[in-house]
Structure formats: C-alpha cells, structure tokens
Chains A and B, each alone.
Chain A
Amino acid sequence: MKKQKKKNEFLYFTLRNRKLQIGLSIILFFLGLAIFAPVLARNEPFAYVNLRGAQPPSSEYWFGTTFFGQDVFAQFVLGLRATFLVGAIGGGLGTLIGVLVGFTAGYRGGIVDELLNMLTNIVLVIPTLAVLLIIAAYLEVRSIFTECIFIGLTAWPWAARAIRAQTFSLRTRDFVDLAKMSGMKPLKIIFTEIAPNMMSYLVMTFILQFGGAILNAATLDFIGLGPTNAVSLGLMMQYAVLWGSLLLGHWWWFIPPGAAITAIVGALYVMNVGLDEVFNPKLREM
C-alpha cells in the first residue's frame, strides 16, 4: 500500500515536468515514425521509383527523391529504426558494462578496484577506428547488430570511471553504514542506497551513451564502415555527400537525417535535465 503511494508520487512529478514532456514527446514522435515505418514507407528504400532522379519534396514523395530516384522518406523512416536500435543496444550495452564495472570497483575498492581500473584504462586508450578497420576487413557483411556490439564494447570506460568515482564518495557516507547496520547485503546496498542517489546520473549516462552511440554509428556509416546490408541515417548522409547533393543543392537528401539525429540527441539531453528535477526532491517545485 505504501509502495503504491510512492510510485504514484514519482509518476506525478514525472508527468508534470515541462522539460520531460518536451523531450519525451520529441523522442516518442521519432520512435513512432520508426515503429510504423513499414506502414508509412510506400516504397522500398533502395528501389529506383522516380525516373526523373532528384526531385524536391512533393505530395507523392514527402521528402523528395535521391539522385537515383529513390524515396528519401522511405529511407528516412527505416533509417530511424537503425538509429534507435544502435542507441538502445549500443548505448544499453555500454551503460550496463560501465555500471557493473563502476559499482564493483567503487564499492569493493582495494585490489579489485585497481584491476578493474587497469582494464578500464586499457579499453579507454584502444584506438576504436583502427580496430574497426581490422574488423571490417574480416567481416564482408556487417550488420547493424555487429555495429551495436562494437560501439557498446568500446564506449563504456568513461562511464565506468565516472560511476566508480561517485560510488567511491557515496559508500563512505553515514547512511551506507546505517544500511550495513540494518543487516543489508552489499548488493542490496548498492542498488537501494547508492544507485538511487545517482539515479539521475545513471539515466544521464544511459542518455549520453544512447546519444553517443547514435553519433558514433553515424560517423562509422559516414566513413563507409557502417552496415553493408541495411539503411541508416548515417548511410543516407554518406550517400548524399558521395553523390554531390551539397553541390547540387539537394537539401532534402541530407537535412532530414541530420536534423533527426540532432533532434533526438538534443531531446535526450533536455529529458536528462528534467529527470534530475524529478529524482532530486530538493529541485522539485513544491
């Protein structure tokens, strides 16, 4: 009964927060586009449907057509799917590893901390691009999933370092001692005493990892190391630049993917600020 009440209170502040409302609606809008992409796209993304080549947006082709007469809107909505997939899996994996390593190192301390710190530093200095070139040489067909895993496995170190530092300072607080004296086990202390205190930070980590993964994927796609069997917003921009849309003024080809990436990452940041207000009772407007 008590728990129910608490959850409702949390939900109340979440739904009332203006920044969260704005950020969430932008994300949900793009997420909706991505989810209903197969219904919304009236053409195959790479099919040559418009014989007149590059055309500006019209009622037939909402975002116009590419140099080859492909439907930009179809590519865009299907590319959004890849973007959200990379953000969720790549960012999620990066956050998960960062959280596990950070909490363990920070809470246990001592030799465990030093070993994990060493691992973190090693991964931190690995040159991502060079490794990816080698991997790309071995894998003839790269899928979006491979890209996600790779981004997740290389993006976690800074998150782990930051979480470790936070845990380190929180575990010496008196309320952790009090929890120990209440007979709580270390794992429970980490998740019910320490983690809630840095919840906005953890969410921010996920949001930054989410956004970072999207940007990373766009970079990899843009330099030609992206998936070979899919469409994504980064690939769209790569093709647009390759086929001279900047010179020819085909703005409808590269602006939608670029604007979408910016809007999604920006909305995530705004949400983060809003969440901080929800999690920290002192910041709430009572």
Chain B
Amino acid sequence: MLKLEEISKVYRVGAFGGKELHAVSNVSFNVKDGEVVSLIGESGSGKSTIGKMILRLISTTSGNIIFNDANISTLSGGNLKEYYRNVQGVFQDPFSSYNPIFKADRVFRLIREEFYPGTPDREWDAKIEDALCAVGLNPEHVLNKFPHQLSGGQLQRFLIARALLLNIKFLVADEIISMLDASTRIDVLNLLAELKSRGLSILFITHDLSLAHYISEQAVILYRGCVTEMGATDHIFDNPVHPYTRMLMASVPRLDKKWEHGVVDLKEKHAAVTGCCAFYDRCPIADKSLGCDKFQPMLTEAEPDHFVACYRHVER
C-alpha cells in the first residue's frame, strides 16, 4: 500500500546554509494493507520527520513515497485532497493539535467543509456520533466544548474519530500515546488494534519498545536517520542483532528487575558524525578493519524477514 523508496531529508543549517544536517538518510520500507508497522527510535532519530514526509507536511530531499502506485510528491489540488481522504495523521501533543480559540468539534466541521460539502445536517450528525462511539467517546460529553475543557485522552481519541470520518486506509500515529497516562494509554492502544482488525494500515511511530511489540507485526529501528534493523517484530525482539537494538532492549525497564541488574554501558555521545556507520561512536563492537569508520553499512538479511545494517553481522 505505502512504499518508501530511499527517502532522505537534508536540512541546510548554519550561516548561508553552509552545513548539512541529515535528518533522514535513504530509508526504505513498505507498509502492506491492514498491517501495523512500528517506527522506533530515540529523540532526533528522524522518525517524526518520516511521518511528516508521508503526510506531505515536509518535502523530501530525495527518494519517492509511493501510495497505491502514485508518487505522492507530485500530487496537487484535487489529487492531494483525495490522498488526504485516504491517509491521515494524529500527532503527539493532543493540546497543540487544536486551535485553542475554537471549540474542539471544529476539526469535524473542517472535514465536512472540505470533503463532504453537500451532506445534510442530520446525516452528518449521525456520522459524527458513529465515529465518536467507535473511539469510545460519549458525544454528549465531548461535543460543543473547548479543547482546554477536555482531557488529553479524549482529545487524542477525538482526532482519531476525525480521521475515521474520512474512511481512511492509512494512519500515521506519531507518538500518539506518549503524552497519555497509563490507564488511557491502553484504551487508545486497543482502539488502534481494533481499527487494524477492520483493515486499516498504521504507521506507529514510537520510542517505546514494549508498545511497538504489543501492537505491530513489522518494526523499523531508526538511529540518526538511518535504518539499523528492520523486519518482523517477533524476529527483532527475539533475536536482536544490531548493537543499538540490543542496547535498546537492555534499557527497557522491566517489572521483574531492579536497575542494578541491567546496567547499560553508554558511551558518550559525540557530535553528528558523517562518513561512517551512524552508530560508530557509540558502538561497543565497532571494528575499523571492517570499515565501520568509513561507510554506513547496507541492510543485509539476517534471517527471513529480518534485516540488519551492521558490518559485524556480515562478517559473522
């Protein structure tokens, strides 16, 4: 359904744009129909940038994003609108997703104005009611309120309801539950699982490994804009190959362990490195003789449906 082909995003920074900042470098992966793909990475790894590029909110520097055989960077006017009818996003901060001076249900009205201009009032109200029920909200409690009068979980579900009004096929969920507390978190997560069972494809952007494991079939692990490991979630979690993935797994707090048992040795983080493996300066097993300090390794197959970008692995 959605195909990313070698997409990159380079920002020009510094005086006169003299320096380049590689936010995303040559990322490729696919999302199939009805599949949930997790995009996992730490802050600044470029995961949100990828989400925004898919939503056409940021342009790509190079590479193509293909949605149902159409290159989305060439879409404009009516075609772009049609794209948004199929693909929508929900962002991390539920409060900043709403224009603070309007009532929250304005996000529905905008959809009506732009996508369903001729719908009669009664039909539309019924549609909103259905969408709100689908996300577990009581229309009486949430309609006709200002954003600051609703809770974060309500607002986040409100946004998902907004996406549902369009009968979308693909949802970019950018850290949608990081700002929610534990009890609302599982509600939203289960809601996503339910939507998935109805055939919706989801790109689930997160920094939380356990959430990714809970919900997705496929996972892509990102470090400094480069894919370090990707494939079936089970394979990655059962058998992490890349040193970065291993480090991530080891750093997840566990209910049955105290921190003394799982001390992770983190090397000091240096300034952005170019011309070597993205993980080179933090890698515990880096080996100059393999070229770790010279080139970013390509993704190679570790086992069926499990790819890793590491020279040490190729050697093994």
Contacts and interface: CB of A to CB of B under 8 A. Distances in A.
Nearest to A184: B114
A181 B84 contact: yes
B114 A196 contact: no
Contact of A197 (B84, B93, B101, B121): B101
A281 B56 CA distance: 32
A280 B115 CA distance: 29
Contacts of A280: 101
A8 interface: no
A193 interface: yes
A7 interface: no
Chain A interface SS verdict (over half) = helix
Contact of B114 (A183, A193, A282): A183
B96 interface: yes
Nearest to A181: B84
A182 B91 contact: no
Interface residues of B, number: 28
A174 B84 contact: no
A139 interface: no
Contact of B101 (A2, A174, A182, A281): A281
Interface string B51-75: 0100111000000000000000000
A181 B55 CA distance: 8
Given A181-B89, A182-B110, A282-B148, A196 B99 contact: yes
B81 interface: yes
5 contacts: A175-B96, A175-B97, A181-B88, A182-B111, A182-B115
B98 interface: yes
Interface string A80-111: 00000000000000000000000000000000
A281 B100 CA distance: 8
Interface in A21-61: none
A175 B159 CA distance: 11
Given A174-B91, A175-B97, 15 more contacts: A2-B109, A175-B98, A175-B99, A178-B159, A181-B55, A181-B88, A182-B84, A182-B111, A183-B114, A184-B114, A193-B99, A196-B102, A197-B100, A279-B101, A281-B100
Contacts of B91: 174, 177-178
A175 B102 CA distance: 11
Given A183-B81, A183-B84, A281-B101, A174 B115 contact: no
B146 interface: yes
Interface string A1-26: 11000000000000000000000000
Contacts of B96: 173-175
Nearest to B109: A2
Given A174-B91, A281-B146, A183 B100 contact: no
A179 interface: yes
B99 A197 contact: yes
Given A174-B91, A174-B97, A184 B110 contact: yes
Contacts of A181: 55, 57, 84, 88-89
B249 interface: no
Contacts of B100: 197, 281-282
Contacts of B99: 175, 193, 196-197
A148 to B, nearest CB: 33
Nearest to B100: A197
Contacts of A183: 80-81, 84, 114-115
A174 B121 CA distance: 28
A120 B80 CA distance: 35
A182 B159 CA distance: 12
A65 B52 CA distance: 71
B103 to A, nearest CB: 9
Interface in A170-209: 173-175, 177-184, 193, 196-197, 199
Contacts of A197: 99-101
B107 interface: yes
A281 B96 CA distance: 16
A180 B110 CA distance: 10
Nearest to A1: B121
Contacts of B110: 179, 182, 184
Interface in B92-137: 93, 96-102, 107, 109-111, 114-115, 121
Give the top 3 A-B pairs by smallest Cβ distance, nearest first.
A183-B81, A174-B97, A183-B114
Contact of A180 (B57, B97, B102, B111): B57
B202 to A, nearest CB: 16
A281 B106 CA distance: 15
Interface in B17-60: 52, 55-57
A175 B89 CA distance: 12
A174 B55 contact: no
Given A182-B111, A193-B99, A197-B101, A177 B84 contact: no
Contacts of B102: 196
B199 to A, nearest CB: 21
Nearest to B91: A174
Interface in A266-286: 279-282
Contacts of B57: 177, 180-181
B196 to A, nearest CB: 20
A193 to B, nearest CB: 6
Contacts of A2: 109
